[in-house]
Chains A and B, each alone.
Chain A
Amino acid sequence: MPATVKVLRRPAPGQTSYLRSALKGMGLTFKHMINPDKVTLQYPEEPLELSPRWRGTHVMEVHADGRPKCVACGLCPTVCPANCIRLVGGEDDMGNRYPIVYEIDEFRCIFCGMCQEVCPVEAIHVGQHFENAEYTRERFVYDLDRLMQQDHPSTLLWDPSDPRSE
């Protein structure tokens, strides 16, 4: 069946005005200007409040003496679906197992939070953080020192008062 085509004739130049549409649009703008329920946030002066379950760049928890809590068990590189964690375990002079190399490629990371969920010693966490700009790609591979220095709050993957979402 042939489609029916409706041909609209374009008004000739000089015979039309956009003033009405322009006033209509500006009317909406002025209406929002005096509207008390503003949704626009004056970022970066006003910081964004993140959900407690926001999953951003990682944080490595540290012991009181400054050692990382990680015991290099190898579960996070095993569970990581994006394969972004590199871990080489070793033993320190106290006989404790610790990560000699612990690197997370934040570019590869998909921020699923499974590393935090699987960690048996609650060492690695995803964090409430999103401002990650860097000048080079290499800077997005966070090494152990950098992960330990992250000072943003870590994520709550579930509500502590309702851990099973009941």
Chain B
Amino acid sequence: MVETVTLTIDGLEVTVPKGTTILQAAEAMGNRIPHYCYHPGLSAPAQCRLCLVEVEGAPKLQASCVTTVTPGQVVHTQSESAKTQRRGVLEFYLKNHPLDCPICDQSGECKLQDYVHEEGRPKGRSREPKRVLGRDDFGGDVLFYGDRCVMCTRCVRFMNEQAQDPRLTVVERGNRSVIDTFFEEGVEGSPYAGNIVDICPVGALVSKDFLHKARAWDLDRIPSICPNCSQGCNIELHVRDNLVQRLKPRDNPDVNQHWMCDYGRHRYEWMNRSGRLLLPKPGEGRHAGGNGAGDIALAQSLPEAGSWESVLGDLADLLVDARAEGAEVRAVASPFASNEDLGALRRFVDALGGGRIVFRSPRTDEELPLPGFPKLVRRRDLAPNVRGAELLQMSRVGSDDATGGLDDLVGFEGILVVMGDDLDDMAPDFGAAARVFAFLGPQVPRQLQAVTCLLPTVTHAETEGTFTNFEGRVQRFWPGLHTHGEARPAWQVLDLVAAAVLGDGTVPESAAEAFQRLADDHAVFQGLRYEELGTRGALVNDPVPLPGA
């Protein structure tokens, strides 16, 4: 039982756990007290002097970020003295601020802009010339504009407390004080340094990658899951013009707290890749096996790019014939596919008599933990859903750069389904011996010649679904981009074909239904409900971390 304290903030009574600060208690009731130096993931030095509030009985205004609540305390955040204090502090913040909002990347998500707009003075009274510092390259992805800085020292404290790699400090005193680096290389090489850009409340630290790219108010922010390692950090896709412009971390205390690594942060370009498979179509080369004459007739009867109905109908016919003759089935999955896609593939393969499903996943030897929050690690598996694939009895093959391992499929003569793996390292005649070779993926395969049927699917940025992270946490992502061409989610394609082959008409109509069926089919997912995953996810029934993950 947590001990609680009841106090009054702005006339409203609130009960919070003992030890909470006034600022956190106010935030819990939806009353956001302006602040710069306080950040929930860092220590609070109470130096920005913006969160001062009036506490009845206290002789002076109290810094709400460090004052813990006491029973019966009466707090006024909007009293005349608190407001005057904030207005005065904000005027001093603008004393040396260049007011270059039109060219500042933070404009639109800047706390100085917000607070001054809310309660600052409409005009400054200072007649002194402003201090000019220009900009400084802090190394890595970080640029520093000293003039815009409000000296909250969040960046210094992040490097000291979370990254535990002191690279930044405050030099000089008084109004000449400025953030600086110890060494020439700045924050270069620190794997979590990108977070100092996120936590900077103003435009002092900006990302080189995002510099001048888009305005904050133009971006659509879509909750998603980082697809670059099996940690499954909660992120936001910031989208403009149907292109992902940047990734930002999203709070999840169970996975990544407030942070994400630079490795994941800067690997978003592939979501914007062109060269997409737009329409379902029969493969260019047709497979060489079987009755040659029949193949030519079939090739002539099929259009170059067909409708989904015709292509899937033809594929289903081929599969029915192959199944009648007892053809084996094998599949290659991808750890970048969602649980729904993998579940549909498992169901599809089982419906055709069952067979081995393999996947290839990029992997590295290096783990990059965040010392201040050791649970957050850039994991060794560089794909989001390795755990999900393994829970569905798919086996990892190939080497650490996701190549090789498919030698036993080269001469395979049954039904071959490839989902999400572009097979770029394989010979052009890969799958030529297969009776049916269905390829599902977002990109046009550059190498493959012998595909029976090319089925365009969406990437995780374009659809909704779930990933299972390294510890078995099932987390949802939401669609952020428009689909290219007629691409569809892979689970839908596979379920349509399976329904046509089996003559069983039930096809899930949404990712939620697809997930529900996955939960019904597999004991590890039993009891999970898509709607209840929320933004924090839920653990599967067997939450054992992957060996060596």
**A contact residues vs B (CB 8 Å cutoff):** 71-75, 78, 89-91, 95, 97, 120-121
Contacts and interface: CB of A to CB of B under 8 A. Distances in A.
Contacts of B215: 73-74, 78
Contact of A120 (B102, B135, B211, B217): B102
Contacts of B107: 73
A81 to B, nearest CB: 16
B218 A89 contact: no
Given A90-B212, A91-B212, A97-B212, A71 B218 contact: no
15 contacts: A71-B102, A72-B103, A72-B212, A73-B101, A73-B107, A73-B215, A74-B215, A75-B102, A78-B215, A78-B217, A89-B212, A91-B211, A95-B135, A97-B212, A121-B102
Contacts of A72: 103, 212
Contacts of B101: 73, 120
Nearest to A70: B102
A89 B215 CA distance: 10
B218 A73 contact: no
A95 B211 CA distance: 11
B241 to A, nearest CB: 10
Contacts of B102: 71, 73, 75, 120-121
Contacts of A95: 135
B318 to A, nearest CB: 48
A98 to B, nearest CB: 9
Contacts of B212: 72, 89-91, 97
Interface of B: 101-103, 107, 135, 211-213, 215, 217-218
Given A72-B103, A78-B217, A91-B212, 16 more contacts: A71-B102, A71-B103, A72-B212, A73-B102, A73-B103, A73-B215, A74-B215, A74-B218, A78-B215, A78-B218, A90-B212, A91-B211, A97-B103, A97-B212, A120-B101, A120-B102
Contacts of A71: 102-103
A75 B215 CA distance: 9
A35 to B, nearest CB: 55
A95 B103 CA distance: 11
A13 to B, nearest CB: 70
B208 to A, nearest CB: 10
A40 to B, nearest CB: 47
A121 B212 CA distance: 17
Residue of A78, A90, A97 ringed by the most chain B CB atoms within 10 A: A97
Contacts of B217: 78
Contacts of B211: 91
Contacts of B135: 95
A97 B107 CA distance: 14
Contacts of A74: 215, 218
A95 B208 CA distance: 12
Contacts of B213: 89
Nearest to A97: B103
Nearest to A75: B102
B457 to A, nearest CB: 31
B3 to A, nearest CB: 49
A99 to B, nearest CB: 10
A48 to B, nearest CB: 36
A78 B107 CA distance: 13
Contacts of B218: 74, 78
Nearest to B108: A74
B466 to A, nearest CB: 35
Nearest to B215: A74
A97 B135 CA distance: 13
B103 to A, nearest CB: 4
Nearest to A73: B102
Residue of B135, B213, B215 ringed by the most chain A CB atoms within 10 A: B215
A121 B103 CA distance: 11
A71 B135 CA distance: 17
A97 B98 CA distance: 15
B122 to A, nearest CB: 16
Nearest to B107: A73
A39 B211 CA distance: 57
